[in-house]
Amino acid sequence: MYHSELFQQYGTSYTMRPPHALAPTYPSAGGHHDSYRYSELDVPSQRFDGLFPALEPSQRILGAPPLTPLSLPPGPALGFGQVQPPCETPQLPGNVKMKLENKELWKQFHSIGTEMIITKSGRRMFPQCKVSVSGLEADGKYLLLADLLPVDNSRYKWQEDHWEASGRAEPRLPERVYIHPDSPAPGSHWMKQPISFHKIKLTNNTLDQMGHIILHSMHKYQPRFHIVRAQDVFSRRWGGCSSFTFPETLFLTVTAYQNEKITQLKIQTNPFAKGFREDGMKSKRDRSIRGKRKVISVEQEQEEEEQFQPEGECKRPPLYSGPCDSTLSEELDIGRSLGIPSPNCSFHPITPPTQTPPSTETPNPSLPANQEQGAPLQMSSQTPGTFLQTYPEPPRGASSLYSCPTDAAQNQTLRPSAQRLPSGYQESPHISHSQGELKIYGTEMGPPGNFNPPSCAVTPSVRLSDEPMGRGFSMNFPHFLPNNKIGLQISGAQLQRMYNGGGWM
């Protein structure tokens, strides 16, 4: 689920950080940048006046940034020269861990230099981002989010057999966040099976209206994952956030594959590219007979199944058996058969600067504790050989959590205005809306640990109410909120505070 599906009326551009952290500018190697403004992405400020009455319109820059409900820590190596305010986001417990499930496959790509196709209409990632989490409270509600961070300020070029930097990066694009469609869900739900982000789509269309993640071609990006705690079903406060990155998931964006090895590995491992395998219709060997349906023997099919289908793959996920996003397994562990060397790269925690940073670079002393510094994402002039050596092994015992202190005092000041809620919202069976608040709620909760949505898909927002849309909106999640069992509320005050750079509470 993209944020745009949750907050349609605001457009599709939401940043993961408060606007003062956004770079309306062009980051340079020195951490300073020239002013740059995406005028075509500006959103009329009056659209947000109801939500952020206290904000100066001048703060609303770069593609409707104010509307993020998710003010997360800025990424590493972003080149921002602006000091961040102290983060008030409470941390999740230290035992909250995230693991990259399909690490071996990622490593295979990473060893070559992962390339991701981006298209105007949006392209899924392969390998997909698939993680498992632990350490959550079984009955606590959490959101899982993902975004993509630019790794450095360089644009890259493929030179015969390797990537090398070739000039400055394009101006930053509005950062978007992918919200896992199961969100929010109890910790027991997130922990019971791997969580797949396979529905993330990447696009190079800066005017994309579909909510896909907008990236520049020929740039390096690092996926980042967030676990955000929603304190309880009806809470108006959210609390706790942990962010994670995995170095082997770093990739270069392209509109056409540059490295033939990547092409072959994608074809060999991606089920959707089966038709391009050596025994497929589009193989080089068989292109002359294109148009004729290939007859594959049963034995061949079985052989393929054994070779390429992962154990327990859900080829046709049964309905009502749990969220597909969490159970779909589309990737294949063929690393051993391919004999591709695995680089020494592993889970890379986003470590507070107070702890030993796994980076080889000097942490920016001006950065406060709420900024990630642990990920040594700077890469430049790399060859496939050096591609692997960017991430040293994190020190043992390094925290896997992003953390920052809680500001309890400010928490107490959060008093979302009840009058903003439409009349009768408490009786509404689905979602109420108003200028300042989105309220998705229900009256029943299943037993802890027994969360089991009937379908993986979150239907794009469907208008339910007869009220005029105006600045408010109404949504329904028929797949996700059967019998109104799950609730989520975002208050205008919370949004505003997050926009102002505050935390989650």
Q: Which residues are at the interface with DNA (CB under 7 A)?
A: 117, 119-120, 122-124, 126, 157-158, 166, 199, 201, 204-205, 217-218, 254-258, 263, 266-267, 270-276, 280-282, 284, 287, 290-294, 313-317, 319, 324, 328, 330, 455, 457
Cα–Cα–Cα angle for 85, 88, 91, rounded to 5 degrees? 130
How many of the other CB atoms lie within 10 Å of CB of 236?
19
The rounded distance, in Å, linking the Cα atoms of 499 and 505 is 13
Q: Which is nearer to DNA, 146 or 227 (CB)?
A: 146
Q: Which is nearer to DNA, 2 or 52 (CB)?
A: 2
Q: What does DSSP assign to residue 406?
A: -
Q: Which is nearer to DNA, 255 or 383 (CB)?
A: 255
How many of the other CB atoms lie within 10 Å of CB of 140?
21
Bridge partners for 124 per DSSP: 201
The rounded distance, in Å, linking the Cα atoms of 283 and 223 is 32
Q: How far is the CB of 486 from DNA (least distance, A)?
A: 19
Q: How far is the CB of 364 from DNA (least distance, A)?
A: 30
Provide the CA 34 distance to its chain's centre, in angstroms.
27
**Closest of 282, 277, 333 to residue 109, by C-alpha:** 333
Q: How far is the CB of 420 from DNA (least distance, A)?
A: 34
Q: Which is nearer to DNA, 331 or 437 (CB)?
A: 331
The rounded distance, in Å, linking the Cα atoms of 472 and 478 is 20
| 228 CB-near residues (< 8 Å, 6+ apart) | 70, 72, 142, 143, 144, 145, 238, 240, 241, 504
Q: How far is the CB of 217 from DNA (least distance, A)?
A: 3
Q: Which is nearer to DNA, 291 or 365 (CB)?
A: 291
Q: Which is nearer to DNA, 152 or 330 (CB)?
A: 330
Q: Which is nearer to DNA, 134 or 255 (CB)?
A: 255
Q: How far is the CB of 414 from DNA (least distance, A)?
A: 38
Please provide the size of the chain in residues.
Answer: 505
Bridge partners for 348 per DSSP: 245
Q: How far is the CB of 101 from DNA (least distance, A)?
A: 16
Using alpha carbons, list the distances in angstroms from residue 138 to 132, 349, 448. 14, 22, 7
Q: How far is the CB of 3 from DNA (least distance, A)?
A: 17
Q: Which is nearer to DNA, 311 or 466 (CB)?
A: 311
- Tokens representing 164 are 């090398």
Q: How far is the CB of 200 from DNA (least distance, A)?
A: 10
**Are 97 and 329 within 8 A, CB to CB?**
no
* Exposure class string for 172-207: b at 16+ Cβ within 10 A, else e: bbbbbbbbbbbbbbbbbbbbbebbbbbbbbbbbebe
Cα–Cα–Cα angle for 137, 141, 143, rounded to 5 degrees? 115
Q: How far is the CB of 246 from DNA (least distance, A)?
A: 19
Q: Which is nearer to DNA, 119 or 132 (CB)?
A: 119
